[in-house]
Amino acid sequence: MKIQFNLNGHETEIDVHPLKRALDILRDDFHLYGSKEGCGEGECGACTVLMNGKTVTSCLIPAAQLHGKSVFTIEGIQDFAFFNDIQKAYEDAGAVQCGFCTTGFVMSTVGFLGNVEDFDKISDNEIKMALSGNLCRCTGYKKIIDAVRNLVKNKIQIPEKLIKNDLKKNTQISPQSHFIQPENLGQISNLISVNKNEKIKFLAGGTDMMVGEGRFSQDDLIISLDNVTELGRITKNERYLSIGSAVSFSDILANKFVQDNFPILVDAIQTIGSPQIRHRATIGGNLANASPAGDSIPPLMVLEAKILLNNAADDEIRKVNMNDFFIAPGKSILKNGEFIQSIEIPFPQSDNQIHYFRKVGQRKSLTISKTSLALICKLENDRIENIKIACGSVAPTVLRLKRTEKFLIGKKVDNEIIEEAKEILQSEISPIADIRSTAEYRREITANLLEDFFIKLV
């Protein structure tokens, strides 16, 4: 498949397999060795590059999704004046030892500095968040954070051409290829009706599908949703917000309406992956994976969101409840050729709802949850008028805890009620032991999260 993209400021064309990783193309085909491979699964950040102005992990980008994009690697930024400032700041702070991670950290630093709106308002926490997708095994993070803090203090400017996403999508449809990138719903419809009998796989940001091998077989017809205009929109009407399935988590986080009206979703999304992952991972992808650990699912469940499924082959759109979508780990009700079109979230019915989201994992960033709890509650005269609770990673699918909710409604919270509610919660979940946690730990900590909410509440 012929891929055209802009690499370090130069128009480039290459003939490669559509699923070849961008990292391998950079290193093998263009001999740009600055982007490194540490983990190959989006965790270490050593392969970080800028794609259309945003940091991404190039080990998770399939070649075909480079088409029409602009990519900058560490080699492409070294002739800019700001590069010396970054180099000096890292040297002065002693922020480099073996150097393996350094190019990734520098690319994250560039992505961060390029998007700063007001240098005087940047906190240490924001710097830490910006670097949270990069791991260093020898320097330790303090010196790296010191280096970036100095760059912020000196208000280092990044040229707009590196950060701006002003390239046309320049979509590609190649009927000969088994990887197709349509640009609107009509094209998907046509593709599916002529390929009804093919095994169809939809690919969004690729942050899960590109990890490891064996997710695709040679015969799969892969339809990339990356460039489909209708799926990349956030819209609203008088009753609900609609988020297209291909909207990235970072675009949802940046949306003012979401920030103001759905803070529980914002809290949950902030715990997903890292900046690089959130720039690519989509809300539709998170649902379609049907993982019990999918972090956007518990908040969407308590927000009583609905999922719109598009079955182009049957010319049918069905709207389903979150509860009815998931069947088992990795399994949903999606049929072959059917994809998630959008997620509808009803507006909050009252202003004074209290929300809570907490995820427990091995660490704060880039971690799969051991358990998570999302909760929305409304009090009336100190009694619980309404409460909705959902938990992740404690059953084959994310669970809505209806019995615990029913018990709590109408109750005035005291220690006795909390203890009883914890017991009911524990009887509703069925955690397993796996590589991340024991079943007992999950059971106990999930109940403790409910207690944590009530302690904060009272």
> In the complex, which residues of this chain contact ligand FES (CB under 6 A)?
37-40, 42-47, 57, 59, 96-102, 136-139
How many Å separate Cα 119 from the centre of its chain?
26
Q: How many Cα atoms sit within 13 Å of 432 on the Cβ side?
A: 9
Q: Enumerate the β-bridge partners of residue 377.
A: 354, 387
Shortest spacing between CB 226 and ligand FES, in angstroms: 19
CA–CA separation, 129 and 137 (whole Å) = 18
Residue with tokens 């560039």: 110
Q: Which of 261, 229, 270, 277 is nearest to 361 (CA)?
A: 270
Shortest spacing between CB 69 and ligand FES, in angstroms: 17
CA–CA separation, 370 and 388 (whole Å) = 21
How many Å separate Cα 454 from the centre of its chain?
29
Shortest spacing between CB 66 and ligand FES, in angstroms: 15
59 neighbors 40 (Cβ within 8 angstroms):
yes
In the complex with ligand FES, which residue's Cβ is closer, 210 or 387?
Answer: 210
In the complex with ligand FES, which residue's Cβ is closer, 19 or 418?
Answer: 19
How many Å separate Cα 156 from the centre of its chain?
28
Shortest spacing between CB 137 and ligand FES, in angstroms: 4
8 neighbors 73 (Cβ within 8 angstroms):
yes
Shortest spacing between CB 148 and ligand FES, in angstroms: 14
CA–CA separation, 438 and 179 (whole Å) = 40
Q: Which of 169, 158, 3 is nearest to 82 (CA)?
A: 158
CA–CA separation, 265 and 294 (whole Å) = 12
CA–CA separation, 54 and 35 (whole Å) = 15
In the complex with ligand FES, which residue's Cβ is closer, 38 or 294?
Answer: 38
Shortest spacing between CB 95 and ligand FES, in angstroms: 8
In the complex with ligand FES, which residue's Cβ is closer, 39 or 234?
Answer: 39
Shortest spacing between CB 366 and ligand FES, in angstroms: 9
Shortest spacing between CB 374 and ligand FES, in angstroms: 28
Work out the burial of residue 160: count CB atoms within 10 Å of its CB; fewer than 13 is exposed, 13-18 middle, 19 or more buried: exposed
In the complex with ligand FES, which residue's Cβ is closer, 20 or 306?
Answer: 20
In the complex with ligand FES, which residue's Cβ is closer, 101 or 107?
Answer: 101
How do beta strands 70-72 and 179-180 pair?
unpaired
In the complex with ligand FES, which residue's Cβ is closer, 60 or 246?
Answer: 60
In the complex with ligand FES, which residue's Cβ is closer, 27 or 443?
Answer: 27
